[in-house]
């Protein structure tokens, strides 16, 4: 009994609580001051892709979201898209984090930073642990809505070696028009990373990196084959600033 009590209290409870404090509670402290944003806050300024989606599929859109204001429709689409993203296990084959190593930045763009995950749609965060397909956290606007509509229906049609499953149930009977789920998942995927400045001069977050590491002869990687998209900031409080993203900077660019 003495042995049992000792094992129960020290190993069972004590060490667990100690580890929780060290591995979970202390790492929470540096980001504890960040505001947790709601879906409505983030949906205040829908990205261009969502507005385009409404124009491309007016009937399906009206059927799915009625005649709600575009912000409310976007908030609803984000929630449904997020639930679909989880329920279909998208997050088991696509990560949502750009690491600071392994050439992730050259492939996908600016490295991940804490602020962008502090919101309702990252409870729990969808970082993922496997990349069969590409990372998605910088992919909003990378492909057109049309591409996504074709892709979700049968991915090998647009990417022949793709091993992504087909999602026929994202479509109306005709197999051409996305239904509510389809519109929502496209809205969600097109939203990912829309808060990051993807303008040509800030490809890969180059300005942030330059500010952090002011090397005289910085060799930038070649920009990806992508037309510069003038994007809305997709719900982050303020517009794109002139300098870096406040990653460890005094400037409170994101309004936190």
Partner 1 sequence: MRQILLGDESDNPKPALTGGAHALVNDKLVKWHLVAAIVWLGIAMIGGMLYSLQLLQHWPLPRIAVLSPGRIRMIHTNMVAFGFLTNAFFAMLNWTVPRLTGRRVASDLLGWAILGAWNLIVLGTYIGLHLGEAQAIEWGETPVWIDPLVVVGAILVAIQFYTPIIRSNERSMYVSLWYFSAAFVWLGLTYIMGNFLPQYIVAGNQAGPLLGLYIHDLVGLWVTPMGWGMMYFFVPIILKKPIWSHALSLVGFWGLAFFYPLQGVHHFLGSPIPMFAQYSAVVTTIAIEIVVTTVVINFFMTWRGSEGSLRDSIPIRWFWVGALNYLLTCTQCAFQVTLTFQQVIHFTDWVVGHAHLVMFGVFTFWIFGMIEHLWPKLTGHEWWSEKLRRWHFWLTTIGLAFMVLALTAGGLVDGFMAKGLVPRETILTALRPFWLTRTFTGLFILTGFGCLVVNMIATARVARRAHVDVDYAPYEVLEEQTAGATA
Window 92 to 111, contacts with partner 1 (CB under 8 A): 92-93, 95, 97, 99-104, 106-107
215 binds partner 1 (CB under 8 A): no
- Looking at the Cβ atoms of 14 and 239, the one nearer to partner 1 is 14
How far is Cα 45 from Cα 196, in angstroms, rounded to an integer? 14
How far is Cα 243 from Cα 100, in angstroms, rounded to an integer? 20
Residue with tokens 């009206």: 62
**Stretch in the footprint of partner 1 (CB under 8 A) among 78-86, 138-146, 203-211, 229-237:** 78-86
176 binds partner 1 (CB under 8 A): no
84 binds partner 1 (CB under 8 A): yes
How far is Cα 182 from Cα 172, in angstroms, rounded to an integer? 9
What part of residues 9-68 is at the interface with partner 1 (CB under 8 A)? Answer: 10-13, 15-16, 18-20, 22-24, 26-28, 30-32, 34, 36
256 binds partner 1 (CB under 8 A): no
How far is Cα 43 from Cα 73, in angstroms, rounded to an integer? 9
Contact 90, 130 (CB under 8 A): no
Instruction: Compute the least distance from the CB of residue 211 to partner 1, in Å.
Output: 18
**∠ Cα 99 128 48 (to 5°):** 80
162 binds partner 1 (CB under 8 A): yes
- Looking at the Cβ atoms of 69 and 87, the one nearer to partner 1 is 87
With CB under 8 A as the contact rule, the residue among 87, 213, 214, 230 that binds partner 1 is 87
How far is Cα 223 from Cα 245, in angstroms, rounded to an integer? 19
**Stretch in the footprint of partner 1 (CB under 8 A) among 58-66, 114-122, 210-218, 248-256:** 114-122
With CB under 8 A as the contact rule, the residue among 62, 163, 176, 218 that binds partner 1 is 163
With CB under 8 A as the contact rule, the residue among 41, 118, 177, 179 that binds partner 1 is 118
Residue 178, beta-bridge partner list: 171
3-state secondary structure (DSSP) of residue 37: strand
In sequence order, which residues have a C-beta less than 8 Å from that of residue 172 and are 6 or more positions away? 60, 178, 179
């Amino acid at each position: 009994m003495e042995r049992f009590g000792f094992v129960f209290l020290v190993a069972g409870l004590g060490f667990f609580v100690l580890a929780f404090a060290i591995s979970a509670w202390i790492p929470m402290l540096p980001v504890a001051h960040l505001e947790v944003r709601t879906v409505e806050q983030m949906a205040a300024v829908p990205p261009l892709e969502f507005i385009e989606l409404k124009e491309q599929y007016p009937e399906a859109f009206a059927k799915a979201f009625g005649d709600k204001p575009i912000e409310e429709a976007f908030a609803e689409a984000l929630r449904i898209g997020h639930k679909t993203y989880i329920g279909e296990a998208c997050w088991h084959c696509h990560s949502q984090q750009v690491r600071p190593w392994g050439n992730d930045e050259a492939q996908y763009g600016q490295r991940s930073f804490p602020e962008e995950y502090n919101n309702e749609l990252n409870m729990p965060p969808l970082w993922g642990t496997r990349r069969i397909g590409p990372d998605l956290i910088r992919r909003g606007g990378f492909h057109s809505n049309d591409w996504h509509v074709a892709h979700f229906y049968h991915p090998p049609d647009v990417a022949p070696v793709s091993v992504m499953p087909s999602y026929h149930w994202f479509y109306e009977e005709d197999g051409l028009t996305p239904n509510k789920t389809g519109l929502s998942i496209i809205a969600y995927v097109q939203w990912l990373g829309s808060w990051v400045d993807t303008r040509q001069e800030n490809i890969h977050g180059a300005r942030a990196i330059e500010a952090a590491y002011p090397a005289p002869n910085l060799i930038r990687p070649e920009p990806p084959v992508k037309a510069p998209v003038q994007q809305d900031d997709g719900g982050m409080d303020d517009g794109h600033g002139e300098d870096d993203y406040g990653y460890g900077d005094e400037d409170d660019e994101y309004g936190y």
